[in-house]
Each structure stands twice: as C-alpha cells, then as structure tokens.
Amino acid sequence: MSDVIIVGAGTGGLSVARELSKNPDVNITIIEKGPKTTPGESYKFYDPWDKNELELIKTTCVGGSSLVIAGNYVPALVDELKEFDIDITPQLKQLEEEIQIQTMPKSHEGKINKLLADAARELGLEMQPMPKGINPEKCIICGKCAWGCPNGAKWSSLEDLKVAQSNGAKLITDEGVINLIVEDNKIKGVVTDKANTYYADVVVLAAGGIVTPKLLRIAGIKAGETLAVDPFVTIGGYYKGAQQDNEIQMNKFIKLPHIVIASHTSQFLLPKIQETHPDATSDDIISFMVKVPDNTKGHVYANEVVKGIDFEDASLIARGCGIAASILVKAGADIESISSTHVRGAHLISSARIGDIVDSNLETEIENLYVGDGCVLPEAPGLPPIYTILALSRRLGQYLAQKL
C-alpha cells in the first residue's frame, strides 16, 4: 500500500483524489485548512487578501473555489499546454460528460442578458452563451451562483469528494499544513498547525495560488517568483428595475483579443451609482465584468504577496470598459451613472508553473512531491480556469493511480 497526502480539498485536490482513489492499493488522506460546509453557506468562507493594490479573492473551505464560481467551463490554454507535452483533451471530454457542461436554455436567458446581447449586436458585437456546469432543471435563476448555489444546481468539487470518500479516502478539516518533511530530496510527510505530523510516500500540494508556493519555498523550492490573477472590474450603470442580480451570472459573454466582457453584477457598484442616483437599489443596475489576462510579474513570499497592474494590464482593462460602457448606454443605462468597481483578482494562478517548478507530470524537483492546482498554469488564460485546472488535476490523479 502507498500512502498519499493531498494538501487542500479544493478544486484541484479533490479532482486528484477522485481519480487516485480508483486505485485500491493507495491510502489517501486529504488535509484541508477550512471547514466542510454546504454550497449555500460557502459564501461565508471568502478569504480575500486585500493587503495589496488589488484585492485577491479566494475561498477557504472544502470544495474551494468550485462552490463560489459562476459555473463557467471554457477550455483554456489547451494548445499552450501541448508545448509542455501535456494533452488534456481526454480529461476535458471526461469532464464534459461528468459535469454535463452545456449552455443554458432560452428559458434561463434573463431579461437583462437579452437586453445587453441585443444592444451589443446593434454595435456589431456578438454575445455568445457561456458553457455552464449548471443543471437547468434545478436552477431557479436566483443569481446566487457566486455566493454558493442554494439549490444544488451548480456542479462543485464536492461531487469529486463523494467519489473519493466512497473509495476510502479520508478527509481532515480545520487543519492547515505549515511544513513539509523532506529527507534526501524525497518527500516524507507534512506538519500541520495542530502540531500533527502525517507521513506519506507521496504528497500532492493543492492549497491554492498563495499557500502552495509558500509551502514549496519552505521546502527550498523557489516557487512564487511568478503570479497571475486574471484581473477584472465590474462596470455598470443605472437602469430602473433591472433586477439583473437575480439572473444567472456571466450567462453570456464577448471574447475579444485579450479581453472578456460578460454579464455580471457586484455589490460594490451600488454606492458609486447612488452618487448620481441616490434612490438606486441593487435592483437598478445593469453591468458587465471586464476581465483580462495579466502578466505573471507577481510574487508570493512567506509573509507577503506582491501583485500589481502594469501599463499593459491597465490599457486592456480601460479598452474593455470603454466597449462595455458603450453597450450599457446603448441598452439604456444612464451615461452619467456609469461606474466601475476596484480591480480584483479571483484566479490566483501560475505561482508554481509547469516548466519552472514542475515537470509535465506536475512533479517538483523533490521526489514524489507534486502540485495539483492552478499554480501550475504556465500563464494567465483571461478565461475561467477551472475547466483546465480540473483536467490537469484529473490527469495527475490518473498518472499517480497507474504509478503507485
């Protein structure tokens, strides 16, 4: 029997666990810093890092970001990964069937999504439906996709956990890994913040874009010299009685070179719009997300995360906002009310990249120490990365299941 520890019960870690658990000769222990919760309560475990010029958003609980994303599944970086001899096409197909990825039917389009799409078309831009991991038969169109789906309509990594646990995987919650045990350049186990030591033949780090590189640095691997976040803003304007916040988030999108514009709402817009329309409520806003692929110039250190917006990033965001504002005004938003949120980053990725920190099997220079989360992405996709992260981590789980 081989003992495997997976650090982090998020999107990547649980995907590895699901596939690896199919090997009956492997004992799997998943260690998660956060608690186990329900999808409907997961919004309570947002864990933003705001000691920076842009807010970095993450979620610390079992299921991780999969619980609070909008449920978008777009293939990203598929060709770029082939340059590293990594083909995730089989895993993407597997996931498409498991998650039942589909665009939402007309019945779930939403009044404002249609309004924005019509306005965009008048300006010569086509909004396309977003592929979703949402079951339309369970979806009540409440707009709470990013707050944890209260009706179980949106797929989450808790489905992977069910498979892993049914195959014997053990889950430890509310306990964070703080150190790695390495002897003769081989991984031997981990130490946690509960003063517990867990020994293993293989360790997979999947603790996210900030914690994973910190653990690697502690072990002597110079991770965290890069960091991307796919920065975004939400730009919106006053439109009485819109109720866009009750529609499926990011149900339609426009893909431009280096820019994605998608229907999206944010609580941060309301105070800004109330400056021109004091009577406005959250139901009186129509808005878009503008997201761009940033460079990887960020850094993750032991006690500090450094990530900014450079001239190129700012230029792309400004261009996207100009286009989005034009559509909003065409749709009927008051031009004087057009406002933007602060810049945020919700995809904390590329801090232990393939080719830099891990090889094509996602193994580090320390034998039997692997990375199974978005840290390994070679660059920012500027698109929802979860589909690619799930494919890479399923591929890793399958590789380890055959190897051990």
Give the CATH number for residue 134: 3.30.410
The closest of 73, 80, 51 to 131, measured between CA atoms, is 73
Of 302, 330, 345, which closes a domain? 345
Q: What is the pLDDT of residue 72?
A: 97
Question: Are 161 and 248 found together in one domain?
Answer: no
Non-local CB neighbours of 80 within 8 Å, separated by 6+ positions: 378, 379
Same-domain status, 311 and 220: no
| Co-location of 213 and 280 in the same domain | no
| The predicted structure's pLDDT at residue 313 | 93
Say how far apart CA 3 and CA 404 lie, in whole Å: 9
- Say if residue 333 is in the same domain as residue 370: no
Both structure tokens of 234 = 């939400």
| 371-380 tens-digit pLDDT | 999 999 999 9
Across 379-387, average pLDDT: 95
SS3 317: helix
Q: What pLDDT, in 10s, does the model give residues 194-244?
A: 999 999 999 999 999 999 999 999 999 999 999 999 999 999 999 999 999
Residues 278 and 302 in one domain: yes
387 and 308 within one domain: no
Q: Check which CATH number belongs to the domain holding 196 and give it.
A: 3.50.50.60
Instruction: Quickly state the pLDDT bin for 158 (edges 50, 70, 90).
Output: very high
| Residue bearing tokens 């789980």 | 397
11 close to 386: Cβ distance less than 8 angstroms: yes
pLDDT for the residue 272: 96
Listed residue (266, 272, 271, 277) closest to 239, CA to CA: 277
Decide: 352 and 213 in contact? Cβ < 8 Å: yes
Full residue range of the structural domain in which residue 264 is found: 106-140+227-345
- For residues 176 and 172, what is the distance between their CA atoms, to the nearest angstrom? 9
- At residue 229, what is the residue type? V
Q: What is the mean pLDDT of the chain?
A: 95
Question: 345, 373, 388 — which closes off a domain?
Answer: 345
Domain count, the chain: 2
pLDDT at 49: 60
| Residue 40, CA distances (Å) to 98, 232, 245, 363 in order | 22, 25, 17, 35
What span, in angstroms and rounded, lies between the C-alpha atoms of 340 and 216? 37
Q: Which of 42-56, 116-130, 202-216, 339-353 shows the lowest mean pLDDT across its residues?
A: 42-56
Same domain, 370 and 323: no
- Where among 300, 325, 345 does a domain terminate? 345
Q: Do 216 and 167 lie in a common domain?
A: yes
Do 222 and 232 sit in the same domain of this protein? no
pLDDT tens digits, one per residue of 42-57: 767 777 665 566 788 8
pLDDT score of 50: 58
Looking at residue 308, its pLDDT comes to 87
Q: Are residues 261 and 392 in the same domain?
A: no
Shared domain for 316 and 394, answered yes or no, is: no
**pTM greater than 0.75 (yes/no):** yes
Specify the higher pLDDT residue, 400 or 38.
400
The more confidently predicted of residues 303 and 157 is 157
Instruction: Please tell me whether residues 182 and 172 are part of one structural domain.
Output: yes
Tell me the per-residue pLDDT of 246-292, one tens digit each, with 9 for 90 and over.
999 999 999 999 999 999 999 999 999 999 999 999 999 999 999 99
